[in-house]
C-alpha cells in the first residue's frame, strides 16, 4: 500500500505506486477548504487515498485540480464526486474518451490511434482486471492560462505550460509552502510513437519552472525533492538539451560533449536513452 506523508505544513501526499502506474496524489489543506491534486488512476486508487486522509484526520477534499488528461491522473474522478478544475485541452481530451467501452479491443484501438501506448494498456488491465466499467468525467471549471485558488490562508497558483508529455500539462504552485507540483510536464512524449523530447520545449519549460520560489519539487511518479537535489539532477538534462540545440542531429558530437560534461568514460544508460529521445523529436 502506498505511503501517505506530510511533506509541508499544508500538504499531504500519497506516494506513487509503479506496479499499476499510480501517480502521487496530494491534499493541500487551507483554513477553508482542501484541494485534491489529481484524481488517481482508478476509483480504487482514489478510495485508498481518501481512506488514508480520514485515518489521519485530514479534512477531505472540497475540489479537484487535474495536472493533465492522462488516464493515470484522471480515471479516479468518479470516486471523488468533486467540482473539478482543468485546462480547456484536458476537458477536450476527456470528452473524447467519454462513453467508450473499455474492452481489450478498445485498448488496442487506442494504441493504434496513438491515444495511449502498450504500457498504459497493460497498466489499465492490471489496475482494473476484467471489470472495466470506467466512468470518464469531464471537468466543471475550465481555465486557459492561469488560475489562482484561495484555500483560506493558502494560495495555489495553477499554470498551463504544455510540453512534450502532454499539450495540456499544468503546474501547481503552493505559495505558502514553496512547493511546486510538476505533474509529468518534464517527461517525454509517450503516446503516438517512440518516446521523444523536443529540446526547445524542454528548455522553455525549465525557464517557466525556474520562475517560482521553490523549496520542494514534486513530480508525479518520483519522490519529492529538495530544491538542491532537483536542480543538481535536472541541470544535466538541461545541458543535454542545449547540446542538442547547438549540434542538431550530430549524435556522436552530443555524446562526446555529454561525456566531457559528466566527466565519464562511458555515458550512463539514462543519457543514452535521453539522447535518442531528444533526437527523435528534434530530427522532425
User: What is the spatial distance between Cα 35 and Cα 61, in angstroms, rounded to a whole number?
Assistant: 5
Give me the tens of pLDDT residue by residue for the chain, a chain 284 residues long: 457 999 999 999 999 999 999 999 999 999 999 999 999 999 999 999 999 999 999 999 999 999 999 999 999 999 999 999 999 999 999 999 999 999 999 999 999 999 999 999 999 999 999 888 899 999 999 999 999 999 999 999 999 999 999 999 999 999 999 999 999 999 999 999 999 999 999 999 999 999 999 999 999 999 999 999 999 999 999 999 999 999 999 999 999 999 999 999 999 999 999 999 999 875 54
Cα 245 to Cα 235: distance, rounded to the nearest angstrom: 15
Q: Nearest-CA neighbor of 185 among 198, 175, 243, 229? A: 198
Helices (H), the chain: 43-55, 71-74, 77-80, 88-97, 104-112, 118-128, 199-209, 227-247, 251-262, 269-282
Q: Note the pLDDT tens digit of each residue in 166-194.
A: 999 999 999 999 999 999 999 999 999 99
Q: pLDDT tens across 14-52, in order?
A: 999 999 999 999 999 999 999 999 999 999 999 999 999
Q: Would you say 186 and 40 are in contact if contact means Cβ atoms under 8 Å apart?
A: no
pLDDT value of residue 3 = 77
- β partners of residue 147: 158
Give pLDDT, residue 1: 46
Confidence at residue 282, expressed as pLDDT on a 0 to 100 scale: 52
pTM of the model: 0.95
Phi, psi angle pair for 154, to nearest 5° = -140, 120
Is CATH 3.60.15.30 the classification given to domain 4-226?
yes
C-alpha–C-alpha distance, residues 175 and 4, integer Å: 22
Neighbours of 117 (CB within 10 A): 17
Give 15-83 as a DSSP string: --BTTTTBPPEEEEE-SS-EEEE---SSHHHHHHHHHHHHHTTPPPPSEEE-S---HHHHTTHHHH---
Find, among 73, 24, 18, the residue nearest to 49 by Cα.
Answer: 24
Q: Are 75 and 40 in contact (CB under 8 A)?
A: yes
d(CA 90, CA 118): 21
Q: Which residue has the cell 520560489?
A: 213
Amino acid at each position: 500500500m502506498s505511503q501517505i506523508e506530510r511533506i509541508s505544513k499544508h500538504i499531504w501526499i500519497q506516494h506513487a505506486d509503479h506496479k499499476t502506474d499510480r501517480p502521487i496524489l496530494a491534499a493541500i489543506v487551507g483554513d477553508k477548504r482542501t484541494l485534491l491534486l489529481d484524481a488517481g488512476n482508478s476509483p480504487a486508487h482514489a478510495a485508498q487515498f481518501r481512506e488514508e486522509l480520514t485515518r489521519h484526520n485530514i479534512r477531505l477534499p472540497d475540489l479537484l485540480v487535474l495536472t493533465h488528461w492522462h488516464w493515470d491522473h484522471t480515471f479516479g474522478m468518479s470516486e471523488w464526486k468533486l467540482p473539478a478544475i482543468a485546462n480547456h485541452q484536458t476537458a477536450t481530451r476527456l470528452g473524447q474518451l467519454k462513453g467508450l467501452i473499455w474492452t481489450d479491443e478498445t485498448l488496442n484501438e487506442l494504441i493504434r490511434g496513438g491515444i495511449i501506448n502498450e504500457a498504459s494498456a497493460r497498466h489499465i488491465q492490471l489496475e482494473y482486471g476484467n471489470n472495466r466499467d470506467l466512468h470518464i468525467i469531464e471537468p466543471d471549471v475550465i481555465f486557459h492560462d492561469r488560475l489562482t485558488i484561495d484555500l483560506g490562508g493558502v494560495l495555489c497558483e495553477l499554470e498551463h505550460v504544455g510540453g512534450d508529455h502532454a499539450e495540456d500539462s499544468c503546474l501547481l504552485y503552493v505559495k505558502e509552502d514553496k512547493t511546486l507540483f510538476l505533474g509529468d510536464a518534464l517527461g517525454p512524449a509517450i503516446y503516438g510513437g517512440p518516446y521523444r523530447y523536443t529540446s526547445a520545449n524542454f528548455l522553455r519549460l525549465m525557464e517557466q519552472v525556474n520562475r517560482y520560489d521553490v523549496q520542494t519539487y514534486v513530480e508525479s511518479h518520483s519522490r519529492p525533492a529538495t530544491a538542491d537535489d532537483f536542480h543538481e539532477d535536472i541541470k544535466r538534462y538541461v545541458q543535454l538539451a542545449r547540446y542538442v540545440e547547438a549540434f542538431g542531429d550530430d549524435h556522436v558530437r552530443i555524446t562526446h560533449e555529454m561525456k566531457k560534461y559528466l566527466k565519464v568514460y562511458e555515458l550512463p544508460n539514462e543519457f543514452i536513452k535521453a539522447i535518442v529521445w531528444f533526437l527523435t523529436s528534434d530530427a522532425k
